[in-house]
Structure 1
Amino acid sequence: MNQKKVLMVHGITDTGKIFQSMGNILEKYGYQPHTIDLIPSIGIADLRDLAQQLKQFINNNFHEQEKINLIGFSMGGLVTRYYLQRLDGIDRVNKYVSISAPNNGTNNAHFLPLKGIQQMRPNSEFLQDLNNDVKDILSKIETLVMWTPFDAMILPPKSSVMGVGKEVNFPVLIHRWMLEDKRVFNAILNFLGNKS
């Protein structure tokens, strides 16, 4: 079965274009990169609604019998987790990569009272729900969690850690640079398998 399809899900205020470098690298090694534009992505939408968009996109663009590889960056990490943990996405995904996601919240989310941003606050009801069974569900698939100790968007940076799968950190200076770093690319390629 072809498991070379990779769907990348962006973070707040971004679009799928943020994955251009990563997509080029994946394509070079024989993978088929795909992106989605979550609307709206500015923090006003309930992350559960964005996860429904993700589910619809996957249902519309991939055969129901095929499994894809899923990458979530920043807020996209929480959207992908809700899809995996609450919308039966775990049955559609082969391998999952979380990059610099506020899996345990970020203190930066206290600054704006928008629905999606409130859900990214530490100990939010949304995160408590997801973290309640994260190990039980995500342990069903291969999971790679990546973060940087210098992250100024995810405070504290170690909030990205989930305690499931393989977890690695790289000394990348800026949040967004995680999507441009060769060490991150190599870790993803090795995780997805055989660089062929």
Structure 2
Amino acid sequence: MRIPRRLAALLAAATALATVWTAAPAAADELPTYSYLSGLAAQVTAPGSSPPGANVPGCKPSREHPEPVVLLHGLSNDTITWNTLAPVLAGAGFCVFSLTFGTGALGPIGSVGPAPESARQIAAFIDRVRAETGAAKVDLVGHSMGGAIPFYYLRNLGGIPAIDDYIALAAPLHGATLSGTAAPFTVVLEQLGVRGQAEESCGPCQFSPGTAFLAELNPDPAIAPEIEFTTIVSRYDQIATPYTTGQLTGPNVRNVVLQDLCATDYTEHFELTADPVAVREILNTLDPAHAAPADCAVVLPYIGPVG
């Protein structure tokens, strides 16, 4: 009975938050809400809108922050995923851009379609951002599949010269077991005779361990020694499992485990993009001249910091 009660509490909190949320997203200069629920509320009140501080027309990178930041969601969209991080980055002086890519049968939810097609949409968007801002390179921040798909862009679509920093949050770089549910799901697809079709057309299916797409993705940072890679993962991730799937190896890689910085951070997969420790580490990566230690607090799944 404990799990249903927790789910009921989370749904009640999300409903309450959506009820009191304003009809439009918060301005970038307002204090962000470090909670995944705030992104859900933004989707309810202003579906499909850019997160606050993102996609501002005419934004030109400053001398201090010459690379625009491109935010890439996972099995979600940019409204939900970046409601916290986008205004934080904008408030710190970055030009911030986001998009929803790979939509399909799930309506406003992206990363549904084939990952290579998502990568092509990302490539076109990065080209547009560079053209509009005059920047030679961009910094990438991707969550879940949005942190893994860009490797296809680097390896297959000529994206290496366009990227400076590459930050991946809970990315299934080496495949995701989904807390043990991926294997039974694959068996069901095989029994139905549609596994091959699913692995060609379904983005999430392509990140099941052992797929041909993962072999092609081959996320080896050595292909781009000039790019600085940062991974941020949580030991309590329930989607990109094992959590080490979100880590890389190489001299141009920094791997961050949230609980090594804050033992009371219980962030799971979805809260990660709004987690205050993760947000601080992103800022430290993109602006090392002003790096600061993260404030440790009790952070709960979905809800965020408490106390």
Say whether the fold is shared (TM-score over 0.5): yes
2:267 equivalent to 1:170: no
**Does structure 1 retain, via aligned residues, the 8 Å contact 2:102–2:117?**
no
Deviations 1:98-134 (A, max 9, x none): 1100011111344375421221011221112222x61
Residue of structure 2 equivalent to 1:129: 216
- 2:207 aligned counterpart, secondary structure: coil
Given the superposition, is the C-alpha separation of residues 4 and 61 from structure 1 closer, same or farther in structure 2, using an over 3 Å criterion? closer
Kindly indicate whether residue 277 of structure 2 is the aligned counterpart of residue 179 of structure 1. no
Provide the C-alpha distance between the structure 2 equivalents of 1:73 and 1:44, rounded to a whole number of angstroms: 14
Write the letter of the residue equivalent to 2:99.
Answer: I
Any idea what SS the aligned residue of 2:74 has?
Answer: coil
Q: Segments of 4+ in structure 1 off by > 4 A?
A: 41-44
**TM-score, normalization by structure 1:** 0.89
Could you report, residue by residue, the CA deviation over 1:120-179 in whole angstroms, capped at 9, with x for unpaired residues?
011221112222x61322432111111111100112111111213100111343211111
Identity %: 24
- 1:43–1:33 Cα change, 3 Å: closer
**Secondary structure of 1:24's match?**
helix
Once the two structures are superposed, the pairs formed by residues 22-41 of structure 1 within 5 Å of their partners are 22-40=85-103, 41=109
Aligned CA-pair RMSD: 2.1
Distance in 2 (alpha carbons) for counterparts of 1:191 and 1:66: 19
Query: Relative to structure 1, is the Cα distance of residues 167 and 94 closer, same or farther in structure 2, using a 3 angstrom cutoff?
Result: same
SS in 2 for 1:95: strand
Asked if the contact 2:74/2:111 (under 8 Å) is kept, the reply is no
Counterpart for residue 51 of structure 1: 119
**Aligned equivalent of 2:147, options 61, 77, 95:** 77
Contact 2:77 2:110 in 1 (8 A): no
Greater C-alpha radius of gyration: 2
| Counterparts of 1:107 and 1:135, CA distance in 2 | 23
Q: Which residue number corresponds to residue 116 of structure 1?
A: 203
**5+ long unaligned stretches in structure 2:** 1-62, 104-108, 190-197, 260-265, 292-307
Considering Cα pairs closer than 8 Å and 6+ residues apart, tell me whether 1 or 2 has the greater RCO. Answer: 1
Aligned to 2:59: none
SS class of match (1:8): strand
User: Quick one: which amino acid aligns to residue 185 of structure 1?
Assistant: V
Give the counterpart letter for 1:166 in structure 2: R
For 1:62, the aligned partner's letter is R
Structure 2 counterpart of 1:36, which letter? Answer: L
- Does the C-alpha gap of structure 1 residues 50 and 43 become closer, same or farther in structure 2, counting only changes over 3 Å? closer
Residues of 2 paired with 1:16 and 1:195: CA distance?
27
Shift of 1:43: 5.5
The match for 1:95 among 142, 147, 165 is 165
Aligned residues: 194
Whole-Å Cα distance in 1 between the matches of residues 227 and 157 of structure 2?
15
Deviations 1:24-45 (A, max 9, x none): 1111111111101113155641
Match of 1:11 among 58, 74, 94: 74
| Aligned residues of 1:4 and 1:30 also touching (Cα < 8 A) | no
Asked if the contact 1:95–1:142 (Cα under 8 Å) also holds between the matched residues in 2, the reply is yes
Question: Which residue identity does 1:35 align to in structure 2?
Answer: S
Residue 20 of structure 1 aligns to a residue whose secondary structure is: coil
Counterpart secondary structure, 2:164 = strand
- Relative to total residues, which structure has the larger strand share, 1 or 2? 1
Letter in 2 for 1:46: P
Asked if structure 1 preserves the Cα contact closer than 8 Å seen for 2:97 and 2:129, the reply is no
CA distance in 2, matches of 1:42, 1:92: 23
Secondary structure of the corresponding residue to residue 70 of structure 2: strand
- Structure 1 alignment gaps of length 5 or more: none
